[in-house]
Amino acid sequence: MSPESQLLQYLISGLTLGSIYALIAIGLVVTFNITGIFNLALGEFVTLGALVSIALYAAGLPLIAAFALAVLIAAALGAVMERTAIHPARKANATILTLVIITIGVGIAIRGASLLIWGTHPYILPPFSEHAPFTVAGAVVIPQSLWVLGLAVVCVAALFAFFEFTYLGKAVRACVMNRTAARLVGINPQRLSLAAFTATGALGALAGIFVAPITFATYDMGFMLGLKAFVAAILGGVTNVPGAIIGGFLLGILEAFGVGLVGSGLKDGLAMIVMILVMLIRPTGILGAFRRGA
Amino acid sequence: MLAVKDLTVFRGHIRVLNGLTFSVSAGEIVAVLGANGAGKSTLVGALAGLYPPAAGEIVFQNRNLTGRPPEAVVHAGISLVPEHRQLFAGLTVRDNLILGAYHRYRDAKKELPRLLEDVYRLFPALREKQEKPAQTLSGGLQQMLAIGRGLMADPRLLLLDEPSMGLAPLVVREIMTTLSGLRAKGQTIILAEQNAHAALKIADRAWVLERGCIALSDTAENLRQDARIQAAYLGRS
Ligand SMILES: Nc1ncnc2c1ncn2[C@@H]1O[C@H](COP(=O)(O)OP(=O)(O)O)[C@@H](O)[C@H]1O
Ligand SMILES: [Mg+2]
């Protein structure tokens, strides 16, 4: 492989990774904007999307049906999480920190349950298309990478359309801009919080389903993905959806090049280094600023 | 239409409203006057459901709204145009307006263009700016937008909190004239104002809040003549 092809290869794997980080980071940012808290259990929904659909597929469901059902289950779990863990705590005037710690706790519980159900070994989900890997300018592209990129593009477009063009999307933005005024026109922030946890649960599961054919699926696959998406969100300025997308891709590309040019030891450490650097140098992220703050 | 009994409201540890009892009839403008910090905002905010009362009762059109959250109160027909406008700053004028109808969006979806038209007729300057973000408007237009958004909820009772704040006298007069026009069409209004002069011109009745109590309650006509009011709020002696 020529050096140029090699670099292209890193870029392709960076874009693939970046798509996944971006998707999860969008989920984090949307939830944060609406509720003021980070759902740090979101990574576990990625795991669930992958493992549940693999289990359903193994049980004989067609692949598409297995996917749909897994996404629905994750969405329902997101809703249950909001109603049983977040909502009551909020009613009891829990601080933001308490609420975030609750999400970490829910994450640990889901991970523990996944470990009990699925054990530690990796599961395989077949790629969505049978097409063999092909080369572009000397770099190998696996078709599943294109599926992942495609999902990211479709989700971003759908979210953009939702927030920009629909009445409900505008109501959500209104609630983010001015919670009191939103309540005065009849927008119920608690209902939006429920919707946010439900929708981002589904989004996380979708990300897990798309990435599973590339990475294998294990009970703890979502943990690191969630953490890195969190870094991507911070990189993008926490409240900013376009920022989260850019942050996700930047982190993915950085990681792919770091691993390729320096060594695989960098894979997980790099994200943490990036987070520390952002916090030190530009805590408002590369775009935008903390609008909600503490 | 509105009957309030022994309304007591705390803000933090401060008892801001101290057992207020009053009623408002359909079709009148009642002005709530008082110095800065007297509790005007707390009163209209409590009526809108923002500050749950510690004691007392709020009954509106035979429905008990005591302790109901704002999103339920607006549905019951009370709409607050809050202090400092509180617009959705990054959204367009038009989006701010249509979101005003949120609580009845499902029923009003088809009527939205007509409802918007009503507001634009009331405040023609808003029509020209309808695609502009709310934050780019002048103070006067922002206040008009806030009132328009409040009206989009189609309230039986419209609450306004200091619509004159920070505006030039000419703009204040324009807004007061509009409110007066709304009343002529049957709109019931509670108007909290520090600007007693402007408020008493259009109000039917007024209360003066002092230390969480209604210190004075009379017709606007009488209060305009009242020596105490003139000394304290109208800047005459
Ligand atoms: N956010 C708040 N927290 C605690 N106390 C408040 C708050 N806002 C207002 N207050 C208290 O309530 C009193 C009444 O305030 P407010 O209703 O805003 O009066 P007005 O609208 O007449 O100026 C003030 O004197 C202040 O002490
Ligand atoms: Mg006030």
> B92 to chain A: nearest residue by CA?
A170
Which of helix, strand or coil describes residue A220? coil
What integer is the mean pLDDT of B116-139?
A: 94
Residue B95 CA to ligand 2 centre (angstroms): 26
CB B88 within 8 A of CB B127: no
**Residues in chain A whose Cβ is within 8 Å of chain B:** 167, 170-171, 173-174, 177-178, 180-188
H-helix segments, A166-188? 167-177, 179-184
By the 10 Å C-beta count (0-12 exposed, 13-18 middle, 19+ buried), B235 is classed as exposed
pLDDT over threshold 60, residue A291: no
Amino acid at A197: F
What integer is the mean pLDDT of B112-129?
A: 93
By the 10 Å C-beta count (0-12 exposed, 13-18 middle, 19+ buried), A67 is classed as buried
Residue A25 CA neighbour count, 13 Å, CB half: 33
CB A204 within 8 A of CB A27: yes
pLDDT digits 0-9 by tens, A43-77: 999 999 999 999 999 999 999 999 999 999 999 99
Q: Given an 8 Å threshold on Cβ–Cβ distance, is B149 in contact with A186?
A: no
pLDDT digits 0-9 by tens, B48-63: 999 999 999 999 999 9
Neighbouring-strand partners of residue A217: A123
List chain B residues with CB under 8 Å of A171.
99, 102
What domains does chain A contain, in order, with CATH numbers?
A: 3-285 (1.10.3470)
Using the atom order of ligand 1, give the atom closest to the CA of residue B38. Answer: 22
pTM of the model: 0.85
CB A120 within 8 A of CB A219: yes
Atom 27, ligand 1: which residue's CA is nearest?
B37
For residues A101 and A123, what is the distance between their CA atoms, to the nearest angstrom?
Answer: 30
For residue A244, give the nearest of A26, A81, A68, A56 by alpha carbon: A26
List chain B residues with CB under 8 Å of A183.
49-50, 69-71
Give the pLDDT score at A152.
85
Backbone φ, ψ for residue A186 (5° rounding): 105, 5
For chain B, give the percent of residues with pLDDT over 70.
Answer: 97
Angle made by CA atoms A285, A287, A288, in degrees to the nearest 5 = 90
What integer is the mean pLDDT of A82-103?
A: 91
Tell me which residue in A174, A186, A188 faces B88 most closely, judged by beta carbons.
A174
Number of H helices, E strands in chain A: 12, 2
Which of helix, strand or coil describes residue B61? coil
Tell me which residue in B82, B90, B99 faces A180 most closely, judged by beta carbons.
B82
Residue-wise DSSP of A40-76: TTHHHHHHHHHHHHHHHHHTT--HHHHHHHHHHHHHH
Give the pLDDT score at B233.
67
Q: Which two tokens stand for residue A47?
A: 């795991």
Give the pLDDT score at A206.
93
pLDDT digits 0-9 by tens, B138-148: 999 999 999 99
For residues A291 and A178, what is the distance between their CA atoms, to the nearest angstrom?
Answer: 11
Residue A131 CA to ligand 2 centre (angstroms): 67
Tell me which residue in A170, A186, A187 faces B91 most closely, judged by beta carbons.
A170
- How many other β-carbons are positioned within 10 Å of the β-carbon of residue A120? 8
Q: Does B105 touch chain A (CB under 8 A)?
A: yes
Residue A240 CA to ligand 1 centre (angstroms): 33
pLDDT digits 0-9 by tens, A125-172: 888 888 888 888 888 888 888 888 888 899 889 989 999 999 999 999
B158: enclosing H helix or E strand: strand B157-161
Ligand nearest to the CA of B209: 1
Give the pLDDT score at A292.
40
DSSP B89: T
For chain B, give the percent of residues with pLDDT over 90.
Answer: 79
Lowest-confidence segment of A33-37, A41-45, A184-188 by average pLDDT: A33-37
What integer is the mean pLDDT of A8-27?
A: 92
Using the atom order of ligand 1, give the atom closest to the CA of residue B14. Answer: 5
> A190 to chain B: nearest residue by CA?
B71
Give the pLDDT score at A294.
31
Question: In the predicted model, what is the mean pLDDT of chain A?
Answer: 89
Lowest-confidence segment of A101-115, A119-133, B178-192 by average pLDDT: A119-133
Tell me which residue in B74, B82, B91 faces A173 most closely, judged by beta carbons.
B91
For residues A82 and A76, what is the distance between their CA atoms, to the nearest angstrom?
Answer: 10
For residue A38, give the nearest of A282, A173, A191, A226 by alpha carbon: A226
For residues A294 and A180, what is the distance between their CA atoms, to the nearest angstrom?
Answer: 17
Q: Does B90 touch chain A (CB under 8 A)?
A: yes
pLDDT over threshold 70, residue A289: no
Residue B161 CA to ligand 2 centre (angstroms): 7
For an interface test with A, the pick among B88, B112, B143 (most A C-beta atoms closer than 10 Å) comes out as: B88
Neighbouring-strand partners of residue A49: none
pLDDT digits 0-9 by tens, B216-235: 888 888 888 877 776 676 65
List chain A residues with CB under 8 Å of B88.
173-174, 177-178, 181-182
Ligand 1 neighbours, Cβ below 6 Å, are: B 11-12, 14, 16, 34, 36-42
Amino acid at A1: M
Question: In the predicted model, what is the mean pLDDT of chain B?
Answer: 92
> B146 to chain A: nearest residue by CA?
A181
Atom 24, ligand 1: which residue's CA is nearest?
B37
Amino acid at A189: P
Q: Given an 8 Å threshold on Cβ–Cβ distance, is B88 in contact with A180?
A: no
